Amino acid sequence: MVRKWQFIESRNRVFCNGRCVTGQNIGIFILALLLIIVTSGLFFAFDCPYLTKELSPAIPVFAAILFLSVICCILRTACTDPGILPRATPDELLYLEKIDNSQTVALSGRIMELQMRSGHILQLKFCQTCKLFRPPRVSHCSFCNACIANFDHHCPWVGNCVGLRNYRYFYFFLLSLSLLCTYIFVFNIVNIALRSQSNSTVADAIRETPATMVEALICFFSIWSIIGLWSYHTYLICRSITTNEDIKDSWSTSHHGENQINPFSRGNGLLNCFATLCGPLPPSFLNLRAVVNQDNTIPMTITGANNNNPQEMIRYYPDDNGNYSNRVRDSSATNPAHSIHQQQRYAPRDYA
């Protein structure tokens, strides 16, 4: 039995028979994971017994909850398909080349205009590697060599891209790690303060529990960047923009002499947060665990485009399994009845 993940064209690594997708280089991710585990382990081994005796048994309980939250979130971020788009097949590439015979510009230089429901018109650029017109908010990651939906950035600390399908896990990872670092650092100080009361000096208290000082130093130098990064992504979520868009200044108030309004913002920070962190997640565009047969074909449909006007809006439809695809199909070619049936069966939806 051959599955689709065995033919993945990007540089991503696939584990567990297509269930886990990570980036190519995971060394920094393993280092970050070990640093979290070692620091937390020192806290549980050298601080929690004394604090439980002197203060409350609830201290290690809350620390364990935060620690498990951090581990779950970082693993979910690192092992989730961030929203990799499938590359165009040779037949689809041939169709794109024939869609307008009057075009003298190569596909790599063409731009397709997309009109959204809100009335905004966006320009879609052609990806020379993936051989497709990149939908809104899609960017090509040079590390993973793949186009990522809602591409935010490639994070070496989680060893994966951060995009449409794992961004919320990345945000909750930053939030829980900020709380864990603050929690450990505060109780490191409390531990030393309590021990100094039974010793002559603070130095004697530190010599009594040197592991506490090691934890405090690690947390002190880490907490500022972690909290700063969490605050920055909170700001991005409230504005409903990605790191990639913020760096490129895509939705500035004055851009090339025109007012640029973010068409993806709901006009309210709370609504943007709710949509990003609590909204439904789409299934994987790749469907890596699907079984590949020799006569296996991928259903694909295109509407709103014809040979006379190739720049009309392209809409996307789910296949029989409910999975969305960026695949396009010439309804005038083979099996036109199937294309018409698909259009009548499913209501059109914008990719964005």
pLDDT in tens, the chain (352 residues): 788 888 888 888 998 888 899 988 899 999 999 999 999 999 999 999 999 998 999 999 999 999 999 999 999 999 999 999 998 888 888 877 776 655 555 666 677 777 777 777 788 888 888 888 888 899 999 999 999 999 999 999 999 999 999 999 999 999 999 999 999 999 999 999 988 887 778 888 888 888 999 999 999 999 999 999 999 999 999 999 999 989 988 777 554 556 678 888 888 889 999 999 998 988 988 888 888 775 544 443 333 333 334 333 333 334 444 444 444 333 333 343 333 333 333 333 344 4
Q: What SS3 class is residue 189? A: helix
State both tokens at 233: 């992504």
Element (H, E) at 147: strand 146-148
SS3 state at 200: coil
The whole-number pLDDT of residue 344 equals: 33
Cα dihedral sign, 225-227-228-230? positive
In the prediction, which pLDDT does 259 show?
61
Pairwise CA distance, residues 245 & 151, whole Å: 9
How far apart are the C-alpha atoms of 83 and 149, rounded to whole Å? 5
How much is the pLDDT for 101? 55
pLDDT at 341: 36
Token digits of residue 111: 């731009």
User: What is the structure's pLDDT at 332?
Assistant: 35
pLDDT in the model for residue 189: 93
Tokens 């063409």 correspond to what residue? 110
Give the pLDDT score at 256.
52
pLDDT score at 347: 35
Asked if 240 and 276 count as a contact pair (C-beta separation under 8 A), the reply is yes
- State how far the Cα of 146 lies from the Cα of 87, in Å rounded to an integer: 8
Q: Are the C-beta atoms of 153 and 77 separated by less than 8 Å?
A: no
| Residues labelled as active-site residues | 155
- Looking only at the bridges linking them, the beta strands covering 146-148 and 160-162 are unpaired
| pLDDT for res 291 | 84
Q: According to the model, what pLDDT value does residue 253 have?
A: 54
Assess contact for 134 and 344: CB atoms under 8 A. Answer: no
Look at residues 55, 50, 63, 32 and name the one whose alpha carbon lies nearest to residue 212. 50
Task: Read off the DSSP letter of residue 210.
Answer: H
- How far apart CA 135 and CA 352 sit, in angstroms, is 8
Nearest to 282 by CA among 168, 196, 175: 168
Neighbours of 326 (CB within 10 A): 22
What integer pLDDT is reported at residue 60 of this predicted model? Answer: 94
Measured from the Cβ of residue 279, the count of other Cβ atoms closer than 10 Å reads 9
Distance CA 351, CA 4 (A): 23
pLDDT reported for residue 65 = 97
Q: Rounded CA gap, 82 and 144, in Å?
A: 11
What integer pLDDT is reported at residue 46 of this predicted model?
Answer: 92
